[in-house]
Amino acid sequence: MEKLAIKGGCPVRSGKIYYGRQWVDEDDVQAVTKVLRGDFLTCGPKVEEMERNLEKYIGAKHAVAVSNGTAALHCACIAAGVGSGDEVITTPITFAASANCALYCGARPVFADINPETYNIDPESIRAHITDKTKAVIAVDFTGQVVDVEKIRAICDEYHLVFIEDAAHSIATKYNGKQVGSLADITTFSFHPVKTITGGEGGACITNNDEYYKKLVLAHTHGITHDESLMEGAPHEGPWYYEEIALGYNYRITDFQAALIISQMTKLDKFVSRRKEIVKRYNEAFSKIPEIIVQKEIPESDTCRHLYIIRLDLDKLTCSRKEFFDAMAAENVQCQIHYVPVYWFPYYQRLGYEMGSCPNAEEVYKGIMSIPLYPKLTDEDVEDVIHAVKKVVENYRK
Ligand SMILES: *Cc1c(COP(=O)(O)O)cnc(C)c1O
């Protein structure tokens, strides 16, 4: 048996690799600098071009580009009419923003449990948490795999809830052949550097609904309109005149970020196929290791994975997840954990959320670990990651 690096052995590789990394090349740099040398740094033509490109790529009616994925979620909640006293159902296995956006609106996030095999929100648990205060469901396509759209749609229709899809992980994923973004009432994307395409920061809201679209536009730019047909107050006095007709925020994206995202979108197909190749190789390797549980894929989801998660079967290992994680880091494979259940955080605990309320989520959390997945990984890197996982498993096998 190979000696673990953490115990003084030789690491499987010399340079450290991380769970995620952006891909930015010379044409991205050119696209950004061109904007910087031009007239519009914000509110210019690149933002509109990005929106039209997203609409075309997804096959949806409206895209609104915003400053980040969290802003997109906040705007989605505003457009959905989420307000004080309402409840919004989401998953605890997500980034905190998926729940925080309900709090921004004065509503209460309610956590439904996950499916222990797909790790996505369980539609039956959504149903069990519906009250007469429930206004919306924020379903997260965790790791890039799409949620059970058909069942969630049916529940939302039955109870008149707005179906918001947090697709921060799942751009380019398809559900029964349809692009993510064309499925829910409002879909949100993030373009943070660890996500599939990036603008440094950036986000977008996608909808096919004209009413939601109008509200999304207002929400992300101060509730201010220049559109005369929407004005309701003082008479239109001149070309300077605009009105604030709702409370909004400054959640605009800059033109140079939009230019980067437009440039990244031209590489999206390439990113998708490389991510799929790596996932295929990982699945093949890890499905042969009894101590590792591979995430289940639903047949409806043609998934572009943002994260690759291995789940340790800790009953079959002599180490803790922390020891496994540290051993991987010593092999120069720096993993990450996605995510601590949101309601475990002190802020949520102070709001009165109970530990133990989503048992599947808490059980899954104990064993999960995100290993490197990004298109820049070489085949050699991928084999190093597999080698490291095998090496650590062998050393801690019961
Ligand atoms: C990244 C992420 C967000 C937030 O996006 P930002 O662009 O970082 O604000 C929201 N939800 C999920 C699931 C995410 O992974």
HEC letters along 336-361 = ECCCCCHHHCHHHHHCCCCCCCCHHH
pLDDT value at residue 239? 81
Token code pair at residue 185:
């009432």
Residue ranges around ligand 1 (CB below 6 Å): 68-70, 94-95, 97-98, 140, 166, 168-169, 190, 192, 203
CA 379 to ligand 1 centroid distance, Å: 28
Q: Count of alpha carbons within 13 Å of 321, Cβ hemisphere only? A: 17
- Quick one: which atom of ligand 1 is closest to the CA of 140? 13
- Quick one: which atom of ligand 1 is closest to the CA of 73? 10
CA 111 to ligand 1 centroid distance, Å: 17
Pairing relationship of beta strands 203-207 and 186-190 according to DSSP bridges: antiparallel
Pocket test for ligand 1, best of 98, 141, 205 (most atoms within 8 A of CB): 98
Per the DSSP assignment, residues forming a β-bridge with 309 are 370
- Quick one: which atom of ligand 1 is closest to the CA of 192? 7
Task: Report the nearest-CA residue for atom 2 of ligand 1.
Answer: 168
pLDDT value at residue 237? 74
CA 100 to ligand 1 centroid distance, Å: 11
CA 267 to ligand 1 centroid distance, Å: 21
pLDDT value at residue 174? 98
Sites in the chain below the pLDDT cut of 50: none
CA 68 to ligand 1 centroid distance, Å: 8
Pocket test for ligand 1, best of 142, 166, 337 (most atoms within 8 A of CB): 166
Q: What is the Cα 270 distance to its own chain's centre?
A: 20
CA 286 to ligand 1 centroid distance, Å: 28
Residue 375 in 3-state DSSP? coil
CA 351 to ligand 1 centroid distance, Å: 22
Task: Report the nearest-CA residue for atom 6 of ligand 1.
Answer: 69
What is the overall mean pLDDT for the chain? Answer: 97
| Chain segment 232-242, per-residue pLDDT in tens | 876 667 888 89
pLDDT value at residue 300? 98
DSSP state of 10: -
- Quick one: which atom of ligand 1 is closest to the CA of 194? 1
- Quick one: which atom of ligand 1 is closest to the CA of 169? 15
388 phi/psi in degrees, rounded to 5: -65, -45
CA 232 to ligand 1 centroid distance, Å: 35
pLDDT value at residue 235? 67
Task: Report the nearest-CA residue for atom 3 of ligand 1.
Answer: 69
| Rounded CA separation 237/265 (Å) | 42
CA 257 to ligand 1 centroid distance, Å: 17
